[in-house]
Amino acid sequence: MSVGETGVSMLISVRMDPPLPLMFLILINGVSSAEWGVNYRHSHICALNDSSVILSCNYTYPTGYQIRELFWTKNPVKVEKLRDLSEDPEYSQRFQYLGDEQQNCTIKLSHVTQKDEHMYFFRFTTNVTYGNWTGYPGVSLTVTDLQVESPETVTEGNSVRLTCNSSCALTDRATFIWYRNSQPLTERRDRNNQLLLQSVRREDAGRYSCGVQGHTYISPAVQLNVTYPPKIVSLSISPSGEIVEGDSVTLICSSDSNPPAEITWFKGLMIVGSGRIYSILKISSDHSGEYKCKSRNKHGEKYSETVTLNVMYPPRNVSVSITESGQIWNGDSVTLICSSDSNPPAPNFSWFKENQMSSVGSGQSLSVIQSGRFYCEAHNQHGSQRSDAVTVTVKVAGRLVILYISIGVVSGASVIITVLLIW
């Protein structure tokens, strides 16, 4: 219901001193106050920030009056201080009167912002002293921005509902537009201010914002994170290719997961480390073995494939073993065997006699018939090592000759001589 000044004074008069003043008013004006009025289509308008709003309005007054002034004003406190919005610098550029001088008092306000949140009223005055009217209770304007309401995270496969919230329900029918990473989601245009993502995939993660069709204003973006267990867990070795003792080797475990996974490193069944990178400075053959990594977050865990580290190294612990004692009798032979530890195994062997430049043989064993100090050298593509020397002594027997001579005289003159030679 609208109450004009005439009405107010009338009501006050009625309370103070009924009913004469009412009679007086009616007599003076010659009309019923029911004919005075301002109708607003909406008593409350909720508009989007930076949009234009139409305040639809019509007014009536008794016939026989002439309109003097028509204007819109805000937050009236005292009638004497009413200010015409079209003359207010804060509004004059954005204010447009669409009405007329008979009954239509519609206006348009452009680029409304939160600063424009007030009560607005239409007032008109006539050529009659008490024929002035302000249309109470006016129109309240609320200006809203848009906020995406969304859970911060959703787990892959679940569904999630995003809401384009405004602080008040928009008066104009709004078609909502959703954006992911600033790209409009063309398939989602809806009068409903909600966006339902069913069976979320990780590609649905992103920064979501919303807007209303026909308006440039777009809400601030809100990050939606999609969490999922580790999917692709891969293990890479740097440098790739052959690994030689002493190299620095880095194992890297890559996995796709959200939130980021905790990585555990295994050598065989033993846990040997954690973290995405497992570095071995100066690798040794002890590090040879089967490695894998495990990627784990709160949604699940997954192992990488197993990779084998095969650390190459040159021969070491090269030694010569000798059958028997190293003493042989002249004419016999002794076999020397060269053994070593290397990777790749089965290196090449060379045999040397001390104080002799050239090798005296090759192969893992050497047959020796002479005295001397012998050593072997084992070599593979990564290096070589020589053994300690072993001594071979060839004993020459003392050519001991035992003559056993028995001389016997048997009947007659025959003599038998038996000779026994022992070497």
Ligand X SMILES: *[C@@H]1O[C@H](CO)[C@@H](O)[C@H](O)[C@H]1NC(C)=O
Check residue 163 for interaction with ligand X (CB under 6 A).
Answer: yes
Note whether 84 binds ligand X by CB under 6 A: no
Q: Least distance (Å) from ligand X to the CB of residue 140?
A: 16
Shortest distance (Å) from residue 54 CB to ligand X: 7
Residues 253 and 304 sit within 8 Å (Cβ to Cβ):
yes
Given candidates 13, 86, 158, 165, which one binds ligand X under the rule CB under 6 A?
A: 165
Q: Give min distance, CB of 208 to ligand X, in A.
A: 12
> What is each CA distance from 396 to 188, 323, 348, 391, in whole angstroms?
106, 19, 34, 16
**C-alpha distances in angstroms, 290 versus 45, 246, 276, 305?**
71, 19, 17, 10
The binder of ligand X chosen from 3, 26, 31, 39 (CB under 6 A): 39
Binds ligand X by CB under 6 A, chosen from 86, 106, 171, 385: 106
The structure tokens 């070491």 sit at: 316
**69 is an interface residue for ligand X by CB under 6 A:** yes
Using CA atoms, how far apart are residues 126 and 88, in angstroms rounded to an integer?
Answer: 22
Q: Which residues of 282-308 are buried (b: 16+ CB within 10 A; e: fewer)?
A: ebebebbbebbbbbbbeeebbbbeeee
Residue 136 is a binding residue for ligand X (CB under 6 A)? no
DSSP 15: H
Q: Is 171 in the site for ligand X (CB under 6 A)?
A: no
**149 counts as binding ligand X under rule CB under 6 A:** yes
In angstroms, rounded to a whole number, what is the distance separating the alpha carbons of residues 182 and 162? 16
Number of residues that bind ligand X (CB under 6 A): 32
Residue 328 is encoded by which pair of tokens?
């042989």
- For the bound state, the minimum distance from the C-beta of residue 99 to ligand X, rounded and expressed in Å, comes to 6
CB of 193 to ligand X, least distance (A): 8
- Compute how many other C-beta atoms are within 10 angstroms of the C-beta atom of residue 193: 21
Applying CB under 6 A, does 284 fall inside the site for ligand X? Answer: no
H-run or E-run covering 378: strand 372-380
Query: What contacts 352, CB < 8 A, 6 or more positions away?
Result: 359, 360, 374, 375, 376, 377, 386
95 near ligand X (CB under 6 A): no
158 binds ligand X (CB under 6 A): no
Q: How many Å separate Cα 175 from the centre of its chain?
A: 32
* 66 counts as binding ligand X under rule CB under 6 A: yes
Task: Specify the residue for token string 């990488």.
Answer: 304
* 201 near ligand X, judged by CB under 6 A: no
Which range in 23-31, 99-107, 302-310, 374-382 contacts ligand X by CB under 6 A?
99-107
Residue 98 in contact with ligand X, rule: CB under 6 A? yes
Return the number of the residue (215 or 353) whose C-beta is nearest ligand X. Answer: 215
Task: Name the one range near ligand X by CB under 6 A: 11-19, 124-132, 239-247, 338-346.
Answer: 124-132
Does residue 266 contact residue 272 with C-beta atoms inside 8 Å?
yes
CA count, 13 A, side-chain hemisphere, 401: 4
CA distance 128 to 66: 8
By CB under 6 A, residue 104 contacts ligand X: yes
Q: Does 225 bind ligand X (CB under 6 A)?
A: yes
Q: Which two tokens stand for residue 260?
A: 């980021």
Which of 18, 19, 30, 64 is the binder for ligand X (CB under 6 A)? Answer: 64
Of the candidate residues 3, 22, 95, 145, the single one contacting ligand X (CB under 6 A): 145
- Options 55, 109, 128, 392; binder of ligand X; rule CB under 6 A: 128
The Cα–Cα gap between 85 and 83 comes to 6
Per-residue binding string, ligand X, 43-62, x by CB under 6 A, is ------xx-------x----
Which of the stretches 103-111, 329-337, 342-350, 392-400 binds ligand X when contact is defined by CB under 6 A?
A: 103-111
- Cβ-closest residue to ligand X? 125
- Which residues would be at the binding site for ligand X (CB under 6 A)? 39, 41, 49-50, 58, 64-66, 68-69, 98-99, 103-104, 106, 113-114, 125, 127-130, 132, 145, 149, 152-153, 163, 165, 217, 223, 225
